[in-house]
């Protein structure tokens, strides 16, 4: 029995990366909505390079059903929240560093105040 080779290459199928659909360019596919009269507002995934002036694109296209759209929107929201969480963590780290710097300044000011107070007491005693 001879083995038959498939005429469909693996590049004919989209890939997935961490739950996200990749087009044939291996970029994250973009959620879009149809503007045709035959399929008005029907969601689909397409190459993110499509309609980007002068740039080549791979013509990747895939209709999405309701569940896939919801899953994609949920994943996008999760990604957005994770990014915001990282941003908040960076801000918190920066604020903690500033707090340390401010505490050092307060300590220095207290020492200077103490020295000035001592000097003032010396001057008062010498009068």
pLDDT digits (tens, 9 = 90+) for 104-119: 999 999 999 999 999 8
The predicted-structure confidence for 5-55, as pLDDT tens digits, reads as follows 333 333 444 444 445 788 888 888 888 888 899 988 888 888 888 776 666
Two tokens at 14? 């989209």
**Which long-range CB contacts under 8 A does 34-43 form with residues at least 24 apart?**
39/63, 43/68, 43/69
Closest CA to 65 of 47, 81, 84, 43: 43
Which helix (H) or strand (E) segment is 62 a member of? Answer: strand 61-63
List of residues 6+ apart from 15 with CB closer than 8 A: 21, 22, 26
Q: Is the pTM of this model over 0.75?
A: no
pLDDT in the model for residue 55: 66
pLDDT in the model for residue 4: 39
Q: Is the pLDDT of residue 63 over 60?
A: yes
pLDDT in the model for residue 85: 98
Q: Which residue has the higher pLDDT, 85 or 57?
A: 85
């Amino acid at each position: 029995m001879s083995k038959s080779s498939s005429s469909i290459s693996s590049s004919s199928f989209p890939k997935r990366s961490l739950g996200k659909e990749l087009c044939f360019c291996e970029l994250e596919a973009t959620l879009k909505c149809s503007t045709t009269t035959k399929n008005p507002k029907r969601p689909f995934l397409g190459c993110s390079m499509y309609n980007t002036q002068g740039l080549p694109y791979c013509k990747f296209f895939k209709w999405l059903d309701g569940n896939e759209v919801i899953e994609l929107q949920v994943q996008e929201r999760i990604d957005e929240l994770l990014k915001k969480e990282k941003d908040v963590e960076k801000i918190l780290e920066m604020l903690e560093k500033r707090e340390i710097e401010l505490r050092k300044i307060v300590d220095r000011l207290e020492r200077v105040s103490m020295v000035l107070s001592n000097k003032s007491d010396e001057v008062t005693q010498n009068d």
